[in-house]
Amino acid sequence: MLCRIALPLFFVLLCPPLVVAAPQAPLAPEGNTGRYELSTASAGNAMVVTANPLASLAARDMLWAGGSAIDAAIAAQAVLGLVEPQSSGFGGGAFIVYHDGKKTLSIDGRETAPASAQPNRFLGSNGKPLPFYTAVNSGLGVGVPGALAALEESHRRYGKLPWKSLFAPAIRHAREGFPVSPRLHMLIARDRLLAKKTHARDYFLAPDGSAWPAGHLLKNPAYAAALEKIANSGSKEFYRGKLMQGMVKSLTIEGADLSEEDWKNYQPKVAPALCQPYRQYSVCSAPPPSGGLAVLQTLAILDGLGRENDEALRLHQLTEAERLSFADRQRYSADPALVPVPVAALLQKDYVASRRALIGERSMGTASAGTPPGLSSPWGQDGQLLENGTTQIVIADANGHWLSMTSSIEDAFGSRLLIDGMLLNNQLTDFSFLPAESGRPLANRVQPGKRPRSAMSPVIVLDENGRPILALGSPGGSRIIGYVLRALVASLDEGMSPGEVVQLPHVLSRNGATEIDSDLAIGLRESLEARGHTLEPGDMNSGLAIIRRQRGRLEGAADPRREGMATGF
């Protein structure tokens, strides 16, 4: 543990992955780069878990200085945009769930489509959907970024430290350089699109076209300059000032159609978090268009099934409940500002019971979407699963404020468009490429100003007294919902510690085959197959971050599938 605790700043030089897998083609959500040393921590006052030690240390410094959970999250995100640029940054969006000691809020910083966007945006001249990476590479996938606006709005409500001070760690690392991590090196090396974008190529690749090696000190003066402007002037520089004007101009050259008015009109959305009872707890997540609704509906289905001692039976019930909620998600979930999402109806007790009744002793294989009573749905069934990478931050501060934030630029390295040292997202490819199915419109079709559906599901769990006891979330594209559910059930029903939970082999369903980690025990595989499950093994690259309050202390853990760090005091 010397290289992860005593010398965290240099972990990337001293601690390579324990196991390395290096496929050569881009894989779903960033791809697998092996397992890293498990990072856990226990503390009495405050706790941070992020996907990179430099970000965790920046956040912890803010908490040490008397900052709030949101202060720490801003510092962490600014650093992550530099050291983990493939996953998130101010060129992307985020969902934040925040408990302020009394109430739990959702701050929606999801990207928006331009006013010019139309439902046929991702159709080719033949009327068929564009190949995914054709859409990514076209510039049409870039939406107006929302992460910075959401963080600034959160800081306006809950910040304690000066806005300007929160960017100092990231500015310092950008100017002085940071060591390229083993994971970042491998992801750069296997990405075929970076070399096609001039600024990204010049930054991420050495003069001979190879990926910078792990440990190479990489500097990003353009990012430092942009952060200094944001630190001094706030998000108005990003959405209304010269930064915005330069970005719009550069994006237009690359084929994007975002206008200055699209950027100026962006607003984060603040609302009560979506909360649902589960056992003796209250589980809170972000409302649509996030994946929180599917998480809560799955838990509601499970809540009536009791607690089984048989692990294989528990996994059977979990994945069957996921099939049912995922089918409903694919039909109904979208941006509620433009589509009437039936949240209450999908969580209504009798409807949930009717869905639960469909779970039998054998797997149903594929579930059909239901129709809650009194609801006449005009929507078609969406089969698209093209959602990708992301990062997760969880923080508990000394004053009882807790934060769970899932942040993303969508695909690994997003659009590959590097502007002012920041990678821009390709989040609009989270929309349904087809506008309709069997003559029925899809709820998640492209529309002007719309926010695309997301699987991001940041969660905070409250006890019977309304106090937070658990915060978690994960990257992983459309598998996020399953990753989060597996972690919640293991934490709440099985009493596992954060360190145990992040090491669990994943088992989930996106309403198709039952997807399992390749290291799932043979006995569990055989039991699931005996119940009629078709198993699809693979390396599932989650990135869970978890904080638990247990007997007056805080416990944190970072998923060893990524390079994260838990730290507290």
What does each C-alpha distance from 150 to 144, 168, 253, 326, 357 come to in angstroms? 12, 19, 27, 27, 40
Q: Is the Cβ–Cβ distance between 377 and 339 less than 8 Å?
A: no
- Per residue in 124-145, pLDDT (tens digit) is 999 999 999 899 888 899 999 9
DSSP class of 181: P
10-24, 76-90, 470-484: the lowest-pLDDT one: 10-24
Using a 10 angstrom Cβ sphere, with 0-12 exposed, 13-18 middle and 19 or more buried, the burial of residue 375 is middle
pLDDT of residue 3: 42
- Per-residue confidence band for 13, with pLDDT thresholds at 50, 70 and 90: very low
Q: For residue 289, is the peptide bond before it cis, meaning its omega torsion is within 30 degrees of 0?
A: yes
Answer whether residue 367 shows pLDDT above 80: yes
Q: Which two tokens stand for residue 388?
A: 């990708």
Q: Do 390 and 87 form a contact (C-beta atoms < 8 A)?
A: yes
Half-sphere exposure of 477 (CA within 13 A, CB side): 21
pLDDT digits (tens, 9 = 90+) for 427-441: 999 999 999 998 899
The whole-angstrom separation of Cα 459 and Cα 154 is: 17
Average predicted confidence (pLDDT) for the chain: 93
pLDDT of 15 strictly over 60: no
Beta-bridge mates of residue 432: 445
The torsion angle over the Cα atoms of residues 249, 250, 255 and 260, rounded to 10 degrees, is -40
Q: Which CATH number is 2-270+385-568's, of 1.20.1260.10, 3.60.20.40, 3.30.465.10, 3.40.50.300?
A: 3.60.20.40
Burial of 127 (0-12, 13-18, 19+ CB in 10 A): exposed
Return d(Cα 463, Cα 490) in angstroms, integer. 16
| Token representation of residue 65 | 């200085």
What lies within 8 Å, CB to CB, of 292 at 6+ separation is: 95, 274, 285, 286, 457, 458, 459
Q: Where are the domains of the chain?
A: 2-270+385-568
Rg value, the chain, Cα? 22
The predicted pLDDT at position 505 comes to: 97
Asked if 107 and 152 touch (Cβ cutoff 8 Å), the reply is no
CA 319 to each of CA 127, 314, 362, 513, 528: distance values in angstroms, whole numbers, following the listed order:
35, 9, 11, 10, 10
Rounded Cα distance between 158 and 74, Å, is: 12
pLDDT at position 384? 74
The C-alpha atoms of residue 284 and residue 275 are separated, in whole angstroms, by 4
Are 377 and 332 within 8 A, CB to CB? yes
Instruction: Answer yes or no: is pLDDT of 567 > 90.
Output: yes
Q: Are 471 and 461 in contact (CB under 8 A)?
A: yes
Q: Which is nearest to 222 in space by CA: 90, 112, 93?
A: 90
Whether the full predicted model's pTM is greater than 0.85, yes or no, is: yes
**Structural element, H or E, at residue 459:** strand 459-462
How far, in Å, CA of 209 to CA of 133, rounded?
A: 21
Catalytic residues: 390
At 185-203, the pLDDT tens digits run: 999 999 999 999 999 999 9
Angle at 94 between CA 492 and CA 441, to 5 degrees: 95
d(CA 493, CA 132): 39
The answer to whether 170 touches 58, Cβ cutoff 8 Å, is yes
Average the pLDDT over 438-467 and give the result: 96
Relative to beta strand 545-550, strand 535-538 is unpaired
For residue 171 the two structure tokens come to 């500015």
Q: Tokens 């989270």 — which residue?
A: 430
Question: Hey, what amino acid is at 68?
Answer: S
Q: What is the distance of C-alpha 363 from the center of its chain?
A: 29
**Residue 26: pLDDT above 80?**
no
What is the spatial distance between Cα 472 and Cα 548, in angstroms, rounded to a whole number?
9
pLDDT tens digits, one per residue of 344-362: 999 999 999 999 999 999 9
Task: Report residue 310's pLDDT band, with 50, 70 and 90 as the boundaries.
Answer: very high
Quote the DSSP letter at residue 227: H
Residue 240 region, left (φ>0) first, then alpha (ψ -120 to 50), else beta? Answer: alpha
Largest CA distance in the chain: 63
User: Are residues 114 and 265 in contact, defined by beta-carbon separation less than 8 angstroms?
Assistant: no
**Exposure string for 129-145, b = 16+ CB within 10 A, e = fewer:** bbebbebbbbbbbbbbb
88 within 8 A of 79, measured Cβ to Cβ:
no
What lies within 8 Å, CB to CB, of 375 at 6+ separation is 342, 345
Strand extents, DSSP E, 160-224: 178-179, 217-218
Residue type, 275: C
What tokens were used for 513?
């085959």
**Other residues' Cβ atoms within 10 Å of the Cβ of residue 437:** 17
